[in-house]
Structure 1
Amino acid sequence: MTSKQLVYEEIKQRTLENNIEENEIFTANDLATSLNLSRNTVSQYLNEGLKDESIVKVNSRPVYFFDKSALIKKWNVRFIGNEFASFDVLKAQKEHDFDQLIGYNGSLSSIVEQCKAAMCYPDNGLPIMIYGPTGTGKTLLANTMYDYALHQGVIESNSRFVSVNCSEYANNPELLTSNLFGHVKGAYTSAEEDQDGLISLANGGVLFLDEVHCLKAECQEKLFQFMDKGIYHKVGDNDKWYKSKCRLIFATTENPQDALLKTLLRRIPITVSVPSLKDRPLLEKRELIYRLLEQEESKLGKDMYISNLAYSTFLDYEFKGNIGELKNTIKATCAKGLLNQSSDILQIHLLDLPSYFFETIKSMQLKTHSRDNETLFSIHDLKGELKPVIPLLQFYAKLLDAFEGEEDFSKVVDQSKVLIQNFIDYLFFKQKYTLGTTNEVYLLKIVDKIYSIVMNKYAFVVPNSKIKMYSKLFMEYGKDITDTKIWIASNYDSIMAFSTQVRRQFPRAYSIAQEIIENIALNLDIQMDEFMQVVITLTVANDDKIEHNGTVGLILCHGYSTASSIADTVNHILNQHVFDGMDMEVQISIDKMCLMVDDYLRRKAPVKELMLLVDMGSLEDIYERINPLSDCNIGIINNVSTASALEVGNLMKQHMHARQIIKTIKENYEMSYQFIESKQKNEAILTVCATGFGSAKKIGELLKNSLPKSIPLEIIPYDYQSLVTHGIEDNVFSEYDVKMLIGTLDPKVPGVKYMPMENIVTNDEVHYLHELIGKYLSDDELRMFNENIAKNFTLDNIVNHLTILNPQKVMEDVEEIVSELEKLFKCSLDITTKVGVYVHLSCLIERLILRQGIAESEGMEDFAKKYPDLIESIKDIFSGVEYRYSVEIPIPEIRYLLNYFNFDE
């Protein structure tokens, strides 16, 4: 252990084990003597700890030092700073003020910060207006501001908190003026002696003017001089000036802009809006209910139990009078419960609630309700749900757990992206934040500007709706910077390991995130930690991602957040990222819009198909401008809405191609549209098998394995039945330049060469394959391809590759069946056809074992009625196989097999 670590460990032990007081054991001199180090060295280490905020310093004589984490643990408080002028100021940290408020680190956090600023601003604070509905806690907030000012030492301990409710003087403004400013003897009839006003009594302390909207205009005007210069006249004495230095807090239930003089409002630089109870998080409502029940339990001296139904009703009920009404309701409920009970336990049931509650409960519930079926639990059981937590640190901990609990980093990234999205959803929806306060609106504008600059520089797109979400993330981060730094320090090594991995995996996104963080520090004075850079990197990587299956969707709309909102809604409903949204200026030109599409395609390349949904404008103009850009198929649909985007997105999710989507939309919607076919198509060979897609895939693997190297010709397993149904109109032909079909049965697609797989086995028509593949291979490579074909496409190897069965045994069974079928139809199959039948029957037996028979086709009943004897004969031929493998050959398979024998129905 280094000498520096010894000093830190020693001061931590002393802080934990001793009373926090003016004791020499907390001095640098005593530490140096105990550890046998020089005093200068110890002082240097302690001051370094002061800079990184791990040490607390009291600037008295002598100077005292404490370990900050030990103080936090010992006192269970949150520190504001770590350097204090005296022990009294340090000990004020123990005093509870704002952290007593439910929601101080939640829905009230930004309000609390502004209240602190108003109290601490030199020299006499700043006037502050508290605006909110009745019962939201405006008076409590004002009292807490006074307590905070006392604890911070910005007002003297003997300073007063003077409160006046202006509504009591609504009809007598002269009396209010007299009470506020004081009067001299003879100022009016009953003024028999000089009297100081409330402003004088509040000198050095806090004056709280509640319901300030009830102040008459002339009374508001009398405040101007005092607010500007701290001087005023008493009523009846306009010659003498009086002075007072008090901090002013105003409160109102009316909109200040409508209820107060603009000249007064200009003198109140801070206005905070206290949210109503329904707009606060459910967790805070639970904590309020628990605290009020706990207060009643203490006052009544009875252990309190509440039924699950009563508690749920409290949670669900909307209290119009907010916290004030909730408090009165709980008092009334407890009082009613006392009337019905005489034991030392107070039970609160549903029927103890005020009668107006039952208007919100269905009559059927009340008819079937009885006290006996209500489960009771102690109110203290609620406390487990209310343990104060910092959501950001919970989120950080989950991210770190994902990193440390998974070796595969790609899975860590996937899990992290889900956690990030869940946390942002929590901030955006669960906490019911609204962009109402000046701070929130300002922050959004700055973040929007920062992202715009970075997006232009790095050529990527983040929808406006996401920028709004990210601003919530940054706002949340700003609430608990001190606690976050402590957590970061205690998990530093793991965080840096995570950060290193992310930087290696996403170097571009990491650079973008770094630039975003630097801009936020510069413009918002929020210094973000290393872990937040990891979070931002992953959000950038997600927004900047280019991973897709070749088909992308883009929505273009005019206006702020229109396109991105439609895209987000559709993606959320479909539970899949289908669309990107690009928001455009209202006056944007068609040319510029098309350039944006071109840039989008370049960033997403390679793109095979684009579904482009636009909100308005000339579709013909868009078509003409985009047409020259189209190296992919583009389906354009005009007059997009959420409903039409959802329909298109659903078709895309089903892997339908652009041409078919346009056709479907044309049949079902009255919308304008265009289809631009790609100028460039990759050449392809399709492998097909009438017995199933799995077999087509295995044929494709045999063909790919025969190639000596990778070539730009794609080999694609494809659905046989789709080709039979759609022919040349199938989507695959708009996506690829299909040169050949290879399989076990010809789907008869006009204009496309078909090569039976048996022809490869027998070396017939292989020259067609050579012509197609030869242009990609040298002579030596083509020779190697021929050798691989001869080796891979033997009958035994095909059967072995296409089935899970023992090839030797199955070939014996197939040979016997083919021989009997030749006798039945009195024919002899040529070698090429016989190879095809061998392959087909091998696959057929496997499919029957796996219960994967082909579906019945049209006319099956007529076939069965028309040829019962033939069907029975073929079943007899298959009886040995049916017995050995415990299968039964169905009629559709029999009908299909007859194709090899030129059977004409």
Structure 2
Amino acid sequence: MTQDNEKGMTAKEVAKEADITRSTASRYLNKLVKEGKMKKTNSRPVYYSVIKTKRILRSKKLDHIIGADKSLKVSVQQAKAAILYPPNGLHTLLLGETGVGKSMFAELMYNFAVEEEVINSDAPFIKFNCADYTDNPQLLMGQLFGVKKGAYTGAEKDSKGFLKNADGGILFLDEIHRLPPQGQEMLFTFIDNGFFRKLGDTDEIIKADVKIIAATTETPGSYLLKTFQRRIPMVIELPALSDRSLEERFQLIKFFIKAEQKRIGKGIYIYKNALKSFLLYDCTNNIGQLKSDIQLACAKSFLNFKSKQKSKCSCLRIGQEELPYHVKKGIMNLPNKRDELDKVIKSKGNFISFSENQNDSELKSSSKERDKTDYQFYDVIEEKMNTLEDNGLPKEEINQILNIDIEKHFKNYIGDLSANFKKSKIEKIVGEDIVNLVQEILDLAKNRLDRSYDEKIYYGLALHLKRSIARIRNNNKIYHPNLNEIRSEHSQEFITAMEIATIIDEKFSIKTPLDEIGYISMFLTEKPYNYGETDVNKVGVLVVMHGKSTASSMTEVVNNLVGEDHAVAVDMPLEMSPNDAYKKAKAKAKEIDNGSGVIVMVDMGSLNSFGGMIEEETGIKTETITMVSTPTILEASRKAVLGDSFADIIESVNEIGGESYQQNFEVETEEDSKLSFGETITNQNDFAIVTACYTGEGAARELKNIIENNLSSDLNYRIINLSLMEENNLEKEIKKLKKQYNILAVVSTMPLELDSVPYISALDILAQDGIKKLSKKLKREEMLFNIKTSLKDQFNKINSFKIVEDLRYLINNIENKFNKNLDFGVQIGIIIHMTYMFENAIKNGERKKHKKLQDFIKNNEKSFLIVDKEISNLEKEYNVKITDDEKAYITEMFLYN
């Protein structure tokens, strides 16, 4: 039953059509009549028909506005109601900040009116911005209502005005709050009565059938706005961009980039980080500003494109370099929006492409629906390498970052290819010669490596070779940052790939570079796409470090580079007790363990033992890496994300400078852990190693040569030969040297008992154990020097070099009195904490309060008094007062580590 059936239908006819009884049909029909949805006749038989209404139909344009089903859903429904409201629709007021899209929305309302045949298809739609004539109210009103000749100086003839010109259509008045009071009254007269008079005319009444859509940036509730709301019944508020979802902003970005792509006539690639910046930056002027910023980025990219046409690049690329500064800053909001972003940007690739033959609604990612004949991965790697080099990053770090991109991309690239990709289809894309080549290659690899390859490898290798061969022919560079690792870890595959390269060279008359052979080797490995498998239980990475945000900051950098939130941080502020920190670390380890174990990465001190304690208490397999840095965390996370084994990750991290903590096997001696102390030296940063024999020559010189050849350090140090003829004289000579140098050790052919410096025997040097001891001492002095240098830039009240040396002496004294041997890392932690403590005391800063001071002092009186006495010497030296609360914290550090 439809509205087109004017007569209607009887209950009997409905029952027959619906295959129900007549009584049931009659019951339902009468119910609809009561609800006002149908009507019935008084005749016999009774006819039922649908009440005719103006239905709000789906619009071809208004319903396709971005956000029509979400943030703009109510606004769209209001707009439709305003246009369709009987008998002639409603005047409408649009509210919203600058740039939210009020003009566009008004135009869509006009289109809807045309589509619904409320107005004729040729009906006028006139835009008028009241702000354009703010400085001349008479001219403004004359433009709007028309002018009677002679109404004001310069009005030499009659004019109609926009209101009359819009007769039969819609007049859009933007910035309506700029209309002067007299103009407002004239407009209200028209709204109330349907007529108006020209400016300067008191006689002639002009009628017009015009729907007014007004817009203003005034806030709801303002006095001016209330004046308009009394006359304009339909008020539609459009949300600011910041109030709309990231998904809607993403759709807007796509729309604007696609528009620029059509204008320029070139494909546009936008890198993921640039896209994230557009999604996250503070866009104060809303959609209008977003559009302008995207146009600016495209313009910069087009300029770069024109200047680099020799590179044979066929598309525009938008990276961080092309973004305005205020847009670039958007990436800083990433930590708070990471989960939401992952839902919006589903592409696994490094960039998203807009190609010339895409529909407006299509967006293809570089990893899944890439243009198969113009695969740009090499270009991305090369460009990223150039950018990193321009930023001054060392080669080693560049290779590490690029390697993450390559391994993730490669395994996603293969893993995403459909197993149902027909051979006939791939042949159309890459050509028969490539298809035949791949078949020959995989047959050879199958025989050489005794393994089979599925369709994914077949198709992936075909697409890859199509692009790489073209690149080699064009003399474009191919770069593989992890070539040596491929050669060593997959030697058999690499040898086979070299044999394959000779086949490629012969068939296509090219010379395949070693880097490309590295890529081919990756296709031949046993599980080239296991990265994407969700059933792989990855090794957990737990970073625990001293400081309020040290671990968090490092893991954030690493996770951004890896592209996955895999590394987990536990921060340990200096006021946090080791026990509390351990509880947090243990809880995190249990949370992230998937059965493959957890690598615990720490900086120093009591944290070194956390891994072993976690394993003992929970049964989780752990390994502790000490003295960690961003590169070591990056390496561990990279390998873990790629699904490498526990042992492989540990080995790889140790190779780049990580150090596994083996508590049960390497016990520090008291001599090893002691910081060097002694009389004040002239230059605390010049170090010396003394070699001594009976004459000061001969054996001493030989020891010097051995040390020089085996010991390396960034610190400045000298090796000084002394005579052993008289031991007392040796002591005197060393005391003299200590005024110029920091003596690390005395190396001698004879046993010596020296109170002020460590002794290492010549035998230990020859057996290399002594070299290891010296190397450890130099590394520690290097760390202390870096700490002093770093603190120097932060402090203006104290000399960081002097305070560090004074604190080393203090720690040594307290250790002796406590009869304790603190770990070197703990000593460093105490030094840093106390340095800040003294600086803060000198500046009269706010002091920390100990929660249970009196109880602590009562229970640990002897230890507290020792610390109090040692600190009192420095209080006099620096003319400050350290509170008992702070001394209690220091005492805890010695007691609980």
Is TM > 0.5 for Structure 1 vs Structure 2? Answer: no
Give the structure-2-normalised TM-score: 0.32
